Structure 1
Amino acid sequence: MAQQPKHAGLFLLLAIFLLSLNLRPAIAAIGPLIQSISQHAGIKSVGISLLTTIPVLMMGLCAIYATYIRQALGERNGIAMGAAMIAAACLLRLWGENAYKLFGSAVLVGLGIAVIQALLPGFIKRNFGAKTSSVIALYSTGIVVGVTIGSGTASWLEDRLGWMSALAGWSIPAAVAVFVWLLASRNSLYERRSSFTATATRGAPFWRIARCWSLLLFFGVGTGAFMLAMAWISPFYIGLSVTKGEAGILLSVLTVVQALTALWLSFSIDRFPDRRSLLVVSLLLVAFGFLLLIIAPLAAPYFAVSLLGGGIGILFPLSIIVAMDHLKSPTLAGNFTAFVQGGGFIIASLVPLTAGSLLDAFNDLSSIWLLMVIASLGMLVLAVRFSPKSYVQFQQDLADVQSEERQAA
């Protein structure tokens, strides 16, 4: 980590955690409020899915341009701006009585989240060095905890304040995160705003290397499972005549297990320099969790959602960590992670949208659960190839491609 007093390092970790807490509640709170949003804003299942899909799509599109964002805003100010956008978008939902206003806030939420996610991994690697994996796991834990709080409190807040205020309330912790971040990051290492150059903006040619695409696909499937569970577990069980309260508890169990698993990973990740065993376990847990939703959703619902929570709690942070493992340079690793997240989020954005479309067409979600079972098992083929030795080969392949491009230029 950068040389600075211990308390300053802990304060920076707190700021990162607070930022991460705000990266999903604006999306996670949608699921438990589907009935009210549908009734009062006149939005059907596909439209509800868009409230999840739009932010994730924005995350993907903006991540592709991470190099431009880093140059235009700098890391520290860009991250603060992203959090401020989330706060503003949530506040706008106080006036979200129709679909267009909700969709507009979803776009702004997605942009804010995207800017933070594009810049923060590189910042973390720059400041925490050998502890990067643990801090990324803590950052991912914060995301999952935010999901837990956002989904778990949505119905409670709705009963007391109304559904629009329940959504808008997340502007407060986002504003707090901006304030703490600006204080904590004052003396940190960060890439500053810079002028545009043809070489810099072009970025590294990640797209020319097969490993980049396999990591992108892997992240897409893992994040797709995360977004699907977050958006549709509660509505799925409500559709099976489970009470709204119990459906909310099931989602809370999923997210609590997910948060605890991600927290365990943040403390244990250094014991697994070869990440493949964890990846395989997580994929199997996700596959079996979705399988139970197909064959016996009411026989053991808490077991099914616990499997999903445990699997996603490992898979989601690991998909970021493994991408970061491939490169040593903080800036290059940040750009590479943004490339992986960019395409991965675009893939993931299609998953809840597909679920909403299938639900409208067939009044059933079994087909999307089956697709996720197949996708999770299929990812095992990729996971077993992500060995530490392959990182060295990847670095050589990237250097060769960069050399070829310099010679061609």
Structure 2
Amino acid sequence: MEIHTFLDHTMSHSPPPSRARSVKLALALILAGLNLRPAMAAIGPLLDSIRHTIPLSYSLLSLLTLLPVLAMGLAMNTGSRLAARYGEHRTVAASLTLIGVSNLARLWAGGPLPLILTAISAGAGIAVVQAVLPGIVKRHFPEKVALPMGLYVTAIMSGAALAAALSPAAERLAGSWQGALASWSALAALGLAAWFMIRDEVGNRPVVATPIRDTGMARHPRAWSLGVFFGLGTASYTCVLAWLPPYFVELGYGKTHAGLMLALLTGAEVVSGLVLPALASRSPDRRPVVLAALVGVIVGFAGLILTQGALAYLWIVLLGFGIGGIFPLTLIVTLDHLPDPAHAGRLAAFVQGAGYTLASLSPLAAGIIRDTTRGFAGAWLMLAAVTVLMLFMARRFDPAGYPALFAGKPARQEG
């Protein structure tokens, strides 16, 4: 729990959509969002089967999560350029197609190279979609960003939950882990069909950026702090996505049960993605809700380190509730900094690009810790410590200081 540069056609906001148009937009956003995690989330529950076919260390297996996340970070700016040249609707449609083809190609994955290549291509497609959709939300729902963003991010988490819960069953039905991974191409086809339903609402004209003073977001200290904050929060998400099922398999859980534990965590993320943005929408100061989410992550990781057994379900729910809230809340806080959709889109693009690049290193770090210590406790401790750091960073997100941070010349200090 994802934004990029959806540059507006004019300096003004679009008028609020009608109820029917809002429903169509929401449906398309949900079905597009559902496709943004299965390419990664389906790997963890099938890791045991994959390792039987392709013997790999945990460090090398981390590449299946690291590379798509890295591709997401590096491809963020590409999304804005494609939207500027071909229009937002064509750009998202092509990206959903790329995700679907990448999933389908895994049907013929007999070695590590096809898995790695499809991971990279799926990650690039995911990045472009995430680069465009939040700007569309900002433009069509200018006064109610928090709730539509919560819905969109909830869909992303739901896609991960579906992949975690259903991939072992898909493996049994398909007769192979390759068939299970390829089956998620059907969801991409459904998302593509829904996206074409809103062609008129989104439009296919190239997106023309309005004149923006000081467009170089890298010049602004707050842009970097938001990027680091997003990256550290996403690091927890990518690590549990990759390593939570193997962790429970090592504790003696069956493969299906381990997948269901990941599904439980992502289910908690879904609930959090709906509840916490709704709570945050009650006040322009999002910090109390952000801090509550961070505490949930810290307690969840601490619980996994200290206790197992029946209490593991509690720690999983707390961890999922915290992680699921940080993702949308960070995007909401990012959009809060600038009122214009074009400007906010540029900032969100920078934040996601920097954040995903940083977060891509976390599965590798956790994999190395696992290979070195023969357990995941060290990885959970690392992520808990990172989240403590985020507590101090979040205190600086005071909305009263936002207008000065990006006005005129870049500020020397954050407000």
TM-score band by shorter chain is over 0.9
Structure 2 unaligned spans of 5+: 1-13
Q: Does 1:327 align with 2:338?
A: yes
Question: Aligned-pair distance for 1:193?
Answer: 4.9
Q: How does 1:254-265 map to 2 (within 5 A)?
A: 254-265=265-276
CA distance in 2, matches of 1:315, 1:259: 12
Query: Percent sequence identity over matched residues?
Result: 36
Counterpart in the other structure of 1:103: 116
Question: Aligned-pair distance for 1:366?
Answer: 1.5
CA distance in 2, matches of 1:376, 1:166: 34
- Normalising by the residue count of structure 1, what TM-score does the alignment of the two structures yield? 0.92
CA distance in 2, matches of 1:236, 1:130: 43
Structure 2: which amino acid aligns with 1:350?
L
**Structure 1 segments (4+ residues) deviating >4 Å:** none
8 Å contact kept, 1:291–1:373: yes
Counterpart in the other structure of 2:138: 125
Q: Per-residue displacement from partner, 1:285-318 (whole Å, max 9, x unpaired)? A: 1011111111213361101101101101211111
Q: Per-residue displacement from partner, 1:300-359 (whole Å, max 9, x unpaired)? A: 110110110110121111111111111111122111101000010011111111111221
Q: Per-residue displacement from partner, 1:351-399 (whole Å, max 9, x unpaired)? A: 1111112212221112111111111011111111101112122232xx2
Q: How does 1:6-405 map to 2 (within 5 A)?
A: 6-161=19-174, 162-188=176-202, 192-193=206-207, 204-298=215-309, 300-396=311-407, 399-401=408-410
Question: Aligned-pair distance for 1:66?
Answer: 4.2
Question: Aligned-pair distance for 1:7?
Answer: 1.1
Structure 2: which amino acid aligns with 1:240?
L
CA distance in 1, matches of 2:365, 2:85: 35
CA distance in 1, matches of 2:193, 2:398: 40
Structure 1: which amino acid aligns with 2:361?
L
Q: Per-residue displacement from partner, 1:45-94 (whole Å, max 9, x unpaired)? A: 12221111111001100114444233233212111111111011011011
Question: Aligned-pair distance for 1:240?
Answer: 1.8
Pairwise CA RMSD:
2.1
8 Å contact kept, 1:64–1:342: yes
8 Å contact kept, 2:370–2:379: no
8 Å contact kept, 2:62–2:364: yes
Q: Per-residue displacement from partner, 1:240-292 (whole Å, max 9, x unpaired)? A: 22232332222121111111111223544321321000111111110111111
8 Å contact kept, 1:80–1:178: yes
Counterparts in 2 of 1:119 and 1:13: CA distance versus 1, 3 Å: same
Counterpart in the other structure of 1:405: none
Counterparts in 2 of 1:101 and 1:295: CA distance versus 1, 3 Å: same
Could you tell which deviates more after superposition, 72-81 or 116-125?
72-81
Counterparts in 2 of 1:126 and 1:189: CA distance versus 1, 3 Å: farther
- Normalising by the residue count of structure 2, what TM-score does the alignment of the two structures yield? 0.91
Q: Secondary structure at the match of 1:400?
A: coil
CA distance in 2, matches of 1:272, 1:155: 42
8 Å contact kept, 1:36–1:163: yes
Structure 1 unaligned spans of 5+: 403-409
Q: Secondary structure at the match of 1:271?
A: coil
Question: Aligned-pair distance for 1:192?
Answer: 1.7
CA distance in 2, matches of 1:138, 1:264: 10
Q: Per-residue displacement from partner, 1:204-235 (whole Å, max 9, x unpaired)? A: 12112111111111100111111111111110
Could you tell which deviates more after superposition, 66-75 or 126-135?
66-75
8 Å contact kept, 1:250–1:301: no
8 Å contact kept, 2:72–2:124: yes
8 Å contact kept, 1:67–1:203: no
8 Å contact kept, 1:123–1:190: no
8 Å contact kept, 1:27–1:52: yes
CA distance in 2, matches of 1:78, 1:91: 20
Question: Aligned-pair distance for 1:194?
Answer: 5.7
Structure 2: which amino acid aligns with 1:63?
M
